[in-house]
Amino acid sequence: MSKLKLNVNGETHEINADPDTPLIFVLRSQLKLTGPKLGCGQEQCGACVVLADGEATNSCVRAASEFEGQEIVTIEGLSDGESLSPVQEAFRDEGAAQCGYCTSGIVVATTALLTKNTKPSPEEVHEALHDHLCRCGSHRRVLTAIDRLIGEGA
Amino acid sequence: MPKNPNIGHPSIEAHPDLDQWIEISKDERILLHTGKVDIGQRISTALALIVAEELDVDYDRIDVKRTETDVDPNEGFTAGSMSMQHSGKALRMASATARRHMLAIAAEKLEVEAESLEVENGLIQSRETNASITYWELMSEQKFDIPVDESVAVKAPENHTKVGTHVQPKGMTEIVSGRMAYIHDMVLPDMLHARLVRPPHYRAELKSLDDGVVARLAESDVTIVRDGSFLAVASADEYAAVKAAERLANAAEWDLKEGLPTAELFEALTSNERVSLPIAPGGAPVEEPVPALDNPPENAAVTLSARFEKPYHMHGSIAPSAGCAIYKYDKLTVWTHNQGVYPLRAAMAEALDMAIGDIHIAYSPGSGCYGHNGADDAAFDAALIARAIPGQPVLLKWTRDDEHAWEPYGSAMVCELRGSLDADGKVIDWSHESYGDTFMGRPAPGRSGSPAEKLLATHFLEDPLPWPIMPPTMGPHVGVHRNLEPLYNFPEPRLVKNLVRGLPLRASALRTLGAFGNVTALESFVDELAEAGGLSPVEIRLNHLDDEKAKDVIRTLDEKMTAAKAGEADGLGAGIAFSKYKNAAAYCAIGIEVEVNDEAEVLLKRAWIVADAGEVVDPDGLTAQLEGGLIQAASWTLHEQVTFDGGGVTSRDWDSYPIIRFNNIPEVETILMHRPGEPFLGAGEATAGPTGGAITNAIYNAIGLRLRRMPYDPDAIRSAAMN
């Protein structure tokens, strides 16, 4: 066990964990942030993606200790629980989810993309979502939601 | 008097009491009970709309209870595109009964004629006296204590103000904000997290465990559960359980036995021992000899034959399956994301030798499952672990590797077709034989064999159960023969199902069962015949259909695609396909436009869906289901096959089992036929078969290659081009 200092959703947390513990277990078990999902544990599906210093990052393999000093934001940190972020609103209004298990990672990745680039090309959108798998087939609605956000200059 | 088609509704027959369906709950809300579970298909949204409509209560005030045994109706499995016909219809009758009952009491209380009463958002008001009372004041948490009246008058479709409108799906805000609680997120006091250590393959047996590793794990607060070759670890800390499972896996030595059969799969499908049955008109097999395939008729102007091959597909749920269980005072409580809590309870009771009344099972959401994935097995695994550690809740999660390698797949299939046209382009001879494994591996009582032996872990316990050998299912359109019978009026078609034995992988229900393979094969073959007979794909289909609704969806599709100049641009191709799911559910015509690029990749450009699902309750939810089915089936068609060798399944992650990605998603336009007042026609599986056919036909239209073995990946296209 060692002490870790993690900045998550704007708050600093002191945590005791094995230094090799992947970030997602610290987020889900210790900080009770269950928005990031365990999907593959191999950085292949994107369900666990969080923001680390603004970059969409898998949390299922890399140790929590590697994230010390970075600003981590989970999907819970994108809105205050009352209102939704523009990306979340667009996804809701377009019905861009069925079971929703992959949605958290896709919302976070979309947020990262549109924060850096308000007018991404279709290729840039595909690139940003390339490692996000969806099995229900909500892809078209996700792309429609993103088009709408681009149109609104989000 | 014509017979009322609602009398004898299976869900109401089983659960006649109104209180089993509708609860006028406190806080001025309505709680509806259903035996159907929401697995992302938005059934709760559609059911809430139906209840809101009949009760005249705002949709936002309707809550949908998650199914649990002894509390909610037993409606079997949430499967086969039947939820609207079952729960939708039942709840419509229940709500109308509830409304009529409450208006009668209100009339008495308010001393007015029941006919003078109107309801708005649960407020009952008299037009005569303006006196009013709400549902909640009236009922004040009392029970109805009356049966559902199957002959109750329901609202006329022209008076619908909620059904058929666009509403925000139930749960959508929670999903997009990351607050949706899945079974994987459950936390109970003193809960342990568990992981499994699986054998390398179905037939392997645990030979030994390294005692040193076992002792060290025990010292570190990890509990090891072993029963025969069933091996699991549990720990209060989830990551400790993950690491312990890895260490234990390295400490386990397995007897590999004879390994999996390694004969070429498609060869095995048509040469292994099998049960062969002809399919009679109506789509059900009959216990009769299979008629010989005679020479084509003498007046045949064209005769073609073709063989289609489809590999095993996985459900590929994005969340590996999970189960949660507590075993306390000889009673078992289980949480599962499976599609039928009651059938699972019966199977578990048998497997654990417990009384059904000592087991309680509740649904908790998982990720989309699309059929019988690992959910039932994971629930049983959790129960086994919980029974070994009484008193403490256990949340078991499968790993990605567990789900990929151990879920029951959708069977591989071979379809052999032969057809003849006369000089006028009429089909005068038709033969379609399909070969595949069972699609009926769900743990369900009442089906052949023991339900317990359909729970995976029962084969690895100290006293293992035999692997199930399923007899052929004899109902219409169930299993290998789903949609084997064409809707087209081909004269006396020769239709044969072959249930094949001795295949290498575990198989069960995957979305559409045999229909995906059958519809793909027959819709591709119809196009081949059309071309040989000088007919367009639309002509040959319309010429052989009598059903006007079937013709309508095809004509509408044709108009849309013609207007959109589908497949006309340089380098593009377009194809269509049609089916009526099970020849009894929704009608669906699909058009797809593709490009095959220099890397031999199939790029999906545009897609059109025209569907007639009868009365539409939630148009946006229905559209989402149709689109999602199309994208999933496109993924099966272009990318997917479960691979294996003698040592086991080799598709163990998303690299070795690729699925469709965001860079190959077509523009999709969906057109719904509006049929207010007509019966619901299940639509959750309507698009899959025609999507496979339309892609096959579009590729042919684009590059002149008729592909007959999935997946249509660059290797398949290059190899077809070489031949």
Q: Are strands B359-363 and B331-336 parallel, antiparallel or unpaired?
A: parallel
d(CA B124, CA B591): 49
Q: Which among B176, B239, B663 has the least Cβ separation from residue A21?
A: B239
Which CATH number goes with the domain that contains B531?
A: 3.30.365.10
From chain A residues 52-81, the ones with a CB under 8 A of any chain B CB are: 74-76, 78-79, 81
Q: Which among A39, A89, A143 has the least Cβ separation from residue B319?
A: A39
Average of pLDDT values for B109-124?
A: 95
From chain A residues 91-110, the ones with a CB under 8 A of any chain B CB are: 91-92, 95-104, 107
Contact B177 A88 (CB under 8 A): yes
Whether the CB of A141 is below 8 Å from some CB of chain B: the reply is yes
Q: For residue A81, is pLDDT > 80?
A: no
Q: How confident is the model at residue B449 (pLDDT cuts 50, 70, 90)?
A: confident
pLDDT, position B523: 98
* Each residue's pLDDT tens digit, A96-134: 999 999 999 999 999 999 999 999 999 999 999 999 999
Of B94, B128, B153, the residue that ends a domain is B153
**Domain annotation covers residue B299:** no
Of B119, B153, B187, the residue that ends a domain is B153
Structure ipTM: 0.98
Structural domain including B129 reads 10-153
* Each residue's pLDDT tens digit, B52-95: 999 999 999 999 999 999 999 999 999 988 999 999 999 999 99
Q: How far is B187 from chain A (nearest CA, A)?
A: 9
pLDDT, position B5: 66
Of the listed ranges B332-341, B651-660, B674-683, the least confidently predicted one is B674-683
**Mean pLDDT computed over every residue of chain B:** 96
Contact at 8 Å (CB) between B378 and B322?
A: yes
d(CA B609, CA A117): 33
Q: How confident is the model at residue A153 (pLDDT cuts 50, 70, 90)?
A: confident
**Domain annotation covers residue B295:** no
Percent of chain A scoring above 70 in pLDDT: 99
pLDDT, position A154: 54
Whether the CB of A113 is below 8 Å from some CB of chain B: the reply is no
Average of pLDDT values for B588-602?
A: 98
H or E segment to which residue B227 belongs:
strand B223-227
- Tell me if A2-78 shares its fold with A86-151: no
The set of residues, in sequence order, having a beta carbon less than 8 Å from that of B290 and lying 6+ positions away, is B276, B277, B278, B496
Q: Name the token pair of B122.
A: 């649960």
**Domain annotation covers residue B246:** no
Q: Which among A35, A137, A141 has the least Cβ separation from residue B178?
A: A35
pLDDT, position A82: 80
Domain A2-78 has CATH 3.10.20.30: yes
**Domain annotation covers residue B543:** yes
Domain count, chain B: 2
**Which residue in chain B is spatially nearest to A126 when comparing CA positions?**
B663
Q: What is the CA B501 to chain-centroid distance, rounded? A: 24
What does DSSP assign to residue B363?
E
Q: Which among A95, A97, A130 has the least Cβ separation from residue B663?
A: A130
Architecture of the structural domain at A86-151 = Orthogonal Bundle (1.10)
**Domain annotation covers residue B629:** yes
Contact at 8 Å (CB) between B438 and B474?
A: no
Of B137, B153, B169, the residue that ends a domain is B153
pLDDT, position B2: 47
Q: For residue B601, is pLDDT > 80?
A: yes
For chain A, what are the domain ranges?
Answer: 2-78, 86-151
Q: Are strands B230-235 and B223-227 parallel, antiparallel or unpaired?
A: antiparallel
**Domain annotation covers residue B511:** yes
3-class SS of residue B559: helix
Q: How confident is the model at residue B8 (pLDDT cuts 50, 70, 90)?
A: confident
pLDDT, position A90: 98
Average of pLDDT values for B289-308?
A: 97
Average of pLDDT values for B480-490?
A: 98
Q: Name the token pair of B565.
A: 């100049």
Q: How confident is the model at residue B123 (pLDDT cuts 50, 70, 90)?
A: very high
Question: What sign for the dihedral angle of Cα B178, B182, B184, B188?
Answer: positive
* Each residue's pLDDT tens digit, B522-568: 999 999 999 999 999 999 999 999 999 999 999 999 999 999 999 99
**Which residue in chain A is spatially nearest to B337 when comparing CA positions?**
A99
| Residue of B176, B185, B654, B691 for testing the chain A interface, max A β-carbons within 10 Å | B176
Contact A37 B184 (CB under 8 A): yes
Verify cis geometry, omega within 30 degrees of 0, for the bond prior to B472: no
